[in-house]
Structure 1
Amino acid sequence: MDQPHRNQGYPLQLLYSPERIQTEIARLAKEINASYEGRELLVIVVLKGALFFAADLLRLVTVPVRMDLVKLSSYAGTESCGTVRLTKDLEFEVAGKDVLVVEDIVDTGLTLVYLLDLLKQRGAGTLRVCTLIDKTERRQAEVTADFVGFHCQGGFLVGYGLDLDERMRELPAIYQMIQDHDGEI
């Protein structure tokens, strides 16, 4: 890891450089292309965080794609509040479709389980998940991603779509926020 630096007053440690992120995205796109060859894919992007990841990923996906957006909320600051709310619903029907959910990070799993249950109820033909970051140590719900960029342990992450109260999404790399001696960010 590089030396810590500050952004918007927060101490940050570089975790994944822009180049490393793009390398993982290229690998994921190849896996998705191979898995869905000859089929049309409905990609559901989970807003807002996955927007950066999805844009770069979908530019490398070669199978036919339709895209929809969904927005769910479950965080306040650095902690999950444990309750998931749907704040922007889908526009397309998912019944009978090959559906790929694109998520920036799977952490507690509560948001993803909520979304997957909703898509199953609506009759998705096949249902898989692609996430840039999988943090299994905080998992509260049983869920597994099918396509994973990075397996990450610990820490609160920002940058490349990941945010702290809507700040630092625009950073081109992914950083871990550094805690002080009391465990506070």
Structure 2
Amino acid sequence: MNPRTITLHDCSFSTYICEEEIIARIVMLAEQLDQAYAGKTPLFLAVLNGSFMFTADLLKRISIPCEVSFIRLASYQDMHSTGKVKEILGLNEDISGRHVIVLEDIVDTGHTVHGLLKQLADRGPASVEVATLLMKPECLQHELEVKYVAKTIPNDFVVGYGLDYNGLGRNLRDIYKIVS
């Protein structure tokens, strides 16, 4: 892979994970989920905005019967987590007795997932698991078990493939990491 550098706002980013690797990891994740949820009809709960590409590419590869819904939460401002999760667009489906798989673009501090899991637990699901495209274990500030991780990365700020820097970069096919 030839690294390419792009500029978003005031920062430069270089190619970090190419689209082919992303898709290969999503295929592996889809196979794990198909096996784990065989005979069940899980509800995939995609956290917007960042997970839209991951959700689309993952669900195209899920072969078991399933449903998808979307929730929008916010905890980020610029490049830093605010530490507060605000529900913006809520979940309308009844999840009591359902197997729920939360789809995230990235888990770093864990604030968003931690807050969401608390809200979901109050609705009586049969189970709740998290599937994420990217995970930064060294950034976690909550005890979280994220069962399905496509790729673990170090604590670099990344954009592309749904991830943004102040609104820019979500449309990029590859994932880029900050260089300045």
TM class by shorter chain equals over 0.9
What is the match of residue 83 of structure 2?
82
Q: What does 1:15-34 correspond to in 2, within 5 Å?
A: 15-34=16-35
Q: CA 1:4–1:154 in 2, change beyond 3 Å: closer, same or farther? A: farther
Gapped runs of 5+ residues in structure 1?
A: 180-185
What is the match of residue 6 of structure 1?
6
Q: Find the residue that maps to 1:62 and give its secondary structure.
A: coil
Paired with 1:11 and 1:105, the residues of 2 have a C-alpha distance of 20
Q: Find the residue that maps to 2:94 and give its secondary structure.
A: coil
1:155, CA displacement in angstroms?
A: 1.1
Paired with 1:27 and 1:93, the residues of 2 have a C-alpha distance of 29
1:2, CA displacement in angstroms?
A: 4.0
Q: What does 1:52-71 correspond to in 2, within 5 Å?
A: 52-71=53-72
1:4, CA displacement in angstroms?
A: 4.8
1:15, CA displacement in angstroms?
A: 1.2
Paired with 2:133 and 2:19, the residues of 1 have a C-alpha distance of 13
Paired with 1:121 and 1:11, the residues of 2 have a C-alpha distance of 42
What is the match of residue 142 of structure 2?
141
What is the match of residue 158 of structure 1?
159
What is the match of residue 130 of structure 1?
131
Q: Find the residue that maps to 1:165 and give its secondary structure.
A: coil
Q: List per-residue Cα deviations over 1:17-74 (Å, max 9, x = no partner).
A: 0000000000000000000011101110000000100000001101111111101101
CA contact (8 A) 1:2 1:13 kept: no
What is the match of residue 183 of structure 1?
none
CA contact (8 A) 2:29 2:148 kept: yes
What is the match of residue 115 of structure 1?
116
Q: Find the residue that maps to 1:55 and give its secondary structure.
A: helix
Q: List per-residue Cα deviations over 1:82-130 (Å, max 9, x = no partner).
A: 1110000012111100100000000000110000111111111111110
What percentage of residue pairs aligned between the two structures are identical?
A: 34
What is the match of residue 44 of structure 1?
45
CA contact (8 A) 2:8 2:165 kept: no
Letter in 1 for 2:151: F
Gapped runs of 5+ residues in structure 2?
A: none
